[in-house]
Structure 1
Amino acid sequence: MIIGLAVLLALAVFGARYFFSTDFGADFLNRYDGHSSLPESAPVGIPAWLSWQHFFNLFFMVLIIRTGLQIRYERKPSAYVTPKLSKKKISLTMWFHLSLDILWVVNGLIFIILLFVTGHWMRVVPTSWDVFPNALSAGLQYLTLDWPTENGWVNYNALQLLSYFVTIFIAAPLAIISGFRLSSFWSKKWTKASHFYPAPVARKLHLPVMLYFVIFIVIHVVLVVSTGMLRNLNSMFAAQGDVDPSVYANNWTGFFFFLGALVVIAAAWVAARPMVLAPVARLFGKVTAR
């Protein structure tokens, strides 16, 4: 299977290179360089609030994915929690997962509000139909292994723009509505709603969405590292950048901020165990062994 995938990848690379070597392909690349046009009022740069949002989103997503997998494969929970609000007994892992979900949703709401208030929505929402041929162009350029020139401080390429749009406005809402249906917040009294939106449907939706986020994060990290790591990390974690991509090419500020973020996430990963979570859960409900 691995050999087969390698052969398909090699053929795709060869095909993309051949396409751009033709007159039609060269004309297509000249017409669509991979970057969709932005409105004149679109802001330039990455503000500090977006860097903080990026950290919190990474922090919550890593722990949410981890606890989600724990719930899926957990056979004997270490403890149970009966929250004061829902009165439904759930495992300690589920309680932690739902708590992270709530914080992630709150963080997301703040992000959406700031995105539209500051006008930065124009950088992640398609505003022109040329986003589609430009996304195709960017994808083909990636396949040739001669990747498109990037400067996310000014404008994401069209493929990035579409992926961010799908992640923010489609994948995230699907994760929320499917997770809510499977959570203890969904009341058994909502019989009509349960009929139209049964739990098995939400369950079949929730796992693929989680896998989407995993794949998105992996590809995102690979591209950040391989398309100018220091410059990208400066933009994402230190809110530093310039129209000239070479200005912050050798600045390590964002890298150290990113390193600190990884330390915080690793510490939270290690601390997320029953002996630490149980005392916190007792503040919000009753914790029992069974």
Structure 2
Amino acid sequence: MTDNDGSWWESDKKEQSSQTSSDKPKSVFSGDVSSFSTPESVNMAQIKDPNKFLVSQFLVGLILIPIIASFLMSFIILSSERANDNWYYDGKSDPNFDGSVTINNEDFNTAEIYFDIPSFSLEEIDNNDLYFYTSVDSYNQGSWDDYGGCWWEIEDGFYSYVQSEDGEFWYPMNCWGSLENYDFYFQKNGRTMTYATNFESQINYISVDGDEDMSASFILLSFIPFLIPVAYIGMIIWSFVTKKKSLGIGLLGGIIIAPFSFCFSMIFLSFLFWDA
């Protein structure tokens, strides 16, 4: 009886000691502590120095951006000059006066000519403070005494007119030289001009010229060149604020490059616009 109790007690103690030893944590790490890296140390290694000089950004600011800006400004300036070309002119040689009209009980020969001009009426031209001029020329290359002409411009006023038998209004022209003793009248109907005269010989040349309002494209193109330098200065400020000092230094140097690039662009584009 005594032996059985002792064996039971000893076996129970062995089970407790085995459970206690199994519950103890075991160390699985080995090596030096300095061999481990923390996330903070990894991120610090990946951060780039904002003050580091980058040649690529410097060259972009020094060469590429000034060339693009100067080329764009040259193109816009030349385009605006073309858009501002609101002057028109057209002329016809040796017109045929094959029509007729009666003015002040006198028969006149008439020539109806289509010109490539705006279709403004004389009233619209006067109300918009535009310019309009038309002239008639007669000349003989062998004698200066046979040279003469007639003209009319909007400053003469279109309120002075005569009325033909068919109820049409005609504006008298001022004549000089060999045409001084003859009467010339005209009327404008859109792009068609009709001239009437009692001069029986050949009229050599008739012309019309004037101007029209500036287009909206010209106003816009005239404003854009002022924005390009402002944008350039803004880019310089932005590059330093965003710690892109290499780009900012290049843009500062580009101020010296830009005038030369602008002159070259103007010369190059002028040939293209001239041919066009």
TM-score range, shorter chain: under 0.3
TM-score of the superposition, structure 2-length normalised? 0.24
Is the radius of gyration larger for structure 1 or structure 2? 2
The answer to which structure has the higher helix fraction is 1
